[in-house]
Amino acid sequence: MKFTDSLEGDIVCFEMSGKIMGGENTTLFYGKVCEYVNLNKKSIILDMAKVDWINSIGLGMLITALTTTRNAGGHLVLCNIDKIENLLTVTRLITVFDHFDSREQATASFSN
């Protein structure tokens, strides 16, 4: 897994890519989420367009990031989940995460 992060106004966007299956980058990702939350940047988008595959450890990483953000009073959403939508549906996590078809729609969701 690889990720890049950027700050667009008050919204943090993580662009995820590759196979999300644990390892060092999972720890780095969670550290970045915590860093942004501690800086009071609690509107977070995870863009999953370039994610090829995700396993149970990767799902755990997403849930941990969601829980951390929510517990801090923030909001985390997913976008471009086409490649992992079936897995999210089977695990019923599709009902846990707010998700959008595009980054633009995800960004607009924070205005509501």
Domain positions in the chain are: 2-109
Q: 16-25, pLDDT tens digit by residue?
A: 999 998 889 8
Q: What per-residue confidence (pLDDT) applies to 111?
A: 87
- Would you state the CATH architecture of domain 2-109? 2-Layer Sandwich (3.30)
Look at the pTM and tell me if it is higher than 0.85.
yes
Of 7, 106, 89, residue with least CA distance to 48? 106
Q: Which two tokens stand for residue 40?
A: 């009071």
> Does 112 score more than 80 pLDDT?
no
The answer to whether 97 touches 78, Cβ cutoff 8 Å, is yes
What does the pLDDT average to over 57-72?
Answer: 96
